[in-house]
Amino acid sequence: MVSAVRGRVAALAALAAAVTGVLAWRYAGEAAAGRTDSRITEVLDDQPDLAHGVARELATLGGPLPVAVALLLLAPLAAYLRGVRGLALVLAGPPTAMVTTSLVLKPLVGRTNGGELAFPSGHTTSVASIAVTCAVLVLGLAAVPRALKLLAVAGLAALVLGVGVSLVVRGMHYPTDTLGAVGVALAVVPAVAMVIDAFADVVGDPGPDPRALDPREHPTEVLPRARPT
């Protein structure tokens, strides 16, 4: 069960990395919107003014202060529900994704929008990486009904989509910048989770904090372990 779960997670991370890599290759060194960007932007521009107003406000969620507050709130919660491994995921996953975007991919790809490095979107990476971290932690809680897990993941996905749309509507990024950022989050956070699990397994970590909802779970595994029969 655990090997199968990790295999699926690894496949998802590899696919996300591949998508981001293709987009990076396609738009490297460019400053103009591509055909896909233009079509998506046209669709968004046709939406009602109210939708635009709401969307514009969501871009601020990817700023440094909201992101720092989110991580500070999420860290103790992850430690309580998922133990040391959950805390490690919060402290390592999103920051690694953000560094990968800002210090590695942006200068390497060199795509610009308004004179600023744009690919992948830093704001979207921040929100998406935190959302993916939350999804990993939530999906591993056996005590939570499957329907609620899926509802939580859908809500997190909607939030990331809203932030991406906001950035496009405000002209801060092209749509493919935000798609690349989601790819970074989906590639980096699960990879960090698997590294944490692997390291903890090697050093003989006994598992999650006994205060967790189910002591048989491993905090950073996406799905709970198989139950003994």
* Cis peptide, bond prior to residue 120, ω within 30 of zero: yes
218 located within any domain: no
128 located within any domain: yes
210 located within any domain: no
95 located within any domain: yes
* Distance in angstroms (rounded) separating the CA atoms of residues 163 and 208: 33
Q: Provide the residue count of the chain.
A: 229
pLDDT of 23-67, one tens digit each?
999 999 999 888 999 999 888 877 766 556 666 678 888 999 999
Please tell me the pTM assigned to this model. 0.85
216 located within any domain: no
Total tally of structural domains belonging to the chain: 1
Q: Which domain holds residue 78?
A: 2-202
- All residues at 6 or more sequence positions from 80 whose CB lies less than 8 Å from its CB, including other chains: 209, 211, 212
Calculate mean pLDDT across residues 55-81.
90
Give residue 98's identity as a one-letter amino acid code.
M
- Residue 222's pLDDT band, with cuts at 50, 70 and 90, is very low
